[in-house]
Structure 1
């Protein structure tokens, strides 16, 4: 479809009149739920951007409001050291430029529609996974967007990311050169690019060393999931002598399980995390982990988004920030 989608095209796709489509986007009570759903679906499908705020704010004001589109469950985000550091730093950068930030949970169709209506001058996309509509819809919309982290497959969006692949590589090399041979991984969700990249970097090193199969348990970045994943790995490989948890929170849960099963860290099982969260030094033993520059990631993503908002959206200019293995007592 040439050019930006129009309201008339949204209405045609939804099978309603333009007036009805307009009322649906404005939140009118005169529109049925089923009609509103069809219009919302058409907005996402076409990438329609409404040029007037649905909140009836002056346009000059909405140009200075950035949506932090969170594509993960909000309770998990609020308990995540990574997300807290990322959001607080991004908000500070935007505030210094006279802009404000609104956190918008973006896991459903209605939430995606809110990002495309013109209520926000730009979108900071956080944690987008495969099969979620938000990435593809934003890529087609023309709204200024900057993804923190590599966007999901199928969504061509400019991004700033940390080198997750190299981080995984550093962990594998450290464990392998320290003599650990029976290794396992506590990975993240399969549909999350950052989780896949960390696992891929780890596997490549072992593949080059002749290891064709590594047991992998998947968690969701919570401590509890690290506990359960470690139990699964020990059940499958009771002689495990090294584990890579792709988040410090899951590494903490893994260490808890290892202790409960009578294993020492690092004596029996060397354990490595990823993030270098504030509590990594406070664990017993202190956690060997991959440090990712979260604050720098937030600064670069927010700064480039501001540039996109003031000079026009770009679809290039991606940046990849280095990671660093921090060796402590756990491995």
Structure 2
């Protein structure tokens, strides 16, 4: 030992030297290095300062052999790259997930998995121990991926209410039905009586729940014309659906679109048809994304807290990694109608 009581340094700094420098136990230093948050703020700061001072670099390969952890979590989007990188919903979710993971040692990998081959790749990564947990977004229909990943031993959490039974897999969602009902009721209170909706994907719970909210708002109301056209949440589908609706009923006076991109497509078709918004036709979207503030006119939209949804999604995976046997229920976040010029 050196005269100051610290281990004599020889080459690469060790975890024991970090612990002595920080005046904590080796176990506490190890928990900080491994990304655990189960340490006091004082210890966390002291160990991090010791790591910087000594230039300590963890041996990740050796640590993985001991802990059987990769320190990597996977965010899997069951959509094409074009959709994931073009629609603001996904970017906001990713930012929320990343922010929640930032205080931990967990690294985030993003993967698109819209095909069976890509699903098999995700399952292989889990079974081979290359990822510690998986977050799923934009599941369609009776997707077996959540169940398969749980069977492979991975902590799993999902954005959006699953369409099929997935056992104890927790999920995060917005209150889609309530948001759609609020939007449609507002259109009715404004005196609109020929109210159409453009649905989202019918193999996704968000699409079905928003359609259910629209129908609920108009149930039992006399003198109302109800019109439904189907989209897939994307702008092109919104344009096609709006053209279909105008062909069915040129006198329609309101549209609730189940996403902001579809509402933007609606505005484009109405403008081309010479219909004024909101004078002739009121339009409401869903998301309250940046897109809603950049349309002409600006879009009244149902706000869903996508950034918070991303953070809650990461929380669910972190909780399972800390306490594997913890039972976690769904997290449903509230929505709010944000008023702008389109309705």
TM bucket (normalised to shorter chain) is 0.7 to 0.9
* Structure 1 residues 139 and 199: CA distance shift in structure 2, 3 A: farther
Q: Distance in 1 between matches of 2:244 and 2:175?
A: 28
* Structure 1 residues 297 and 264: CA distance shift in structure 2, 3 A: same
| Contact 2:88–2:290 (8 Å) recurs in 1 | yes
For residue 103 of structure 1, what is the aligned residue in structure 2? Answer: 110
For residue 159 of structure 2, what is the aligned residue in structure 1? Answer: 148
* Structure 1 residues 211 and 81: CA distance shift in structure 2, 3 A: farther
SS of the equivalent of 1:266 reads: coil
Unaligned runs of 5+ in 1: 1-56
Matches within 5 A, 1:110-129: 110-113=117-120, 114-115=122-123, 116-117=126-127, 118-129=129-140
| Contact 1:139–1:155 (8 Å) recurs in 2 | no
Deviation at 1:129, TM superposition (A): 1.2
Q: Distance in 2 between matches of 1:203 and 1:106?
A: 33
* Structure 1 residues 313 and 172: CA distance shift in structure 2, 3 A: farther
For residue 207 of structure 2, what is the aligned residue in structure 1? Answer: 195
For residue 32 of structure 1, what is the aligned residue in structure 2? Answer: none
Deviation at 1:97, TM superposition (A): 1.0
For residue 253 of structure 2, what is the aligned residue in structure 1? Answer: 241
| Contact 1:143–1:313 (8 Å) recurs in 2 | no
Matches within 5 A, 1:301-316: 301-312=313-324, 314-316=326-328
| Contact 1:135–1:152 (8 Å) recurs in 2 | no
Q: Deviations over 1:275-300 (max 9, x none)?
A: 01113122221111001111111111
Structure 1 moving runs of 4+ over 4 Å: 59-62, 210-213
For residue 92 of structure 2, what is the aligned residue in structure 1? Answer: 85
Matches within 5 A, 1:9-20: none
SS of the equivalent of 1:279 reads: helix
For residue 295 of structure 1, what is the aligned residue in structure 2? Answer: 307
For residue 179 of structure 1, what is the aligned residue in structure 2? Answer: 191
- For these two proteins, the number of residue pairs brought into alignment is 277
Unaligned runs of 5+ in 2: 1-62
| Contact 1:217–1:232 (8 Å) recurs in 2 | yes
| 1:133 pairs with one of 144, 156, 162 | 144
* Structure 1 residues 138 and 237: CA distance shift in structure 2, 3 A: farther
| 2:83 pairs with one of 76, 85, 92 | 76
Q: Distance in 2 between matches of 1:164 and 1:83?
A: 17
Structure whose CA Rg is larger: 2
The alignment's TM-score, normalised by the length of structure 1, stands at 0.78
Deviation at 1:111, TM superposition (A): 2.7
SS of the equivalent of 1:299 reads: helix
* Structure 1 residues 306 and 258: CA distance shift in structure 2, 3 A: same
Q: Distance in 1 between matches of 2:178 and 2:99?
A: 29
Q: Distance in 2 between matches of 1:129 and 1:136?
A: 14
| Contact 1:145–1:313 (8 Å) recurs in 2 | no
* Structure 1 residues 318 and 98: CA distance shift in structure 2, 3 A: same
Deviation at 1:143, TM superposition (A): 1.6
* Structure 1 residues 101 and 138: CA distance shift in structure 2, 3 A: same
Matches within 5 A, 1:243-322: 243-312=255-324, 314-322=326-334
Q: Deviations over 1:245-296 (max 9, x none)?
A: 1111110110010010010001111000000111312222111100111111
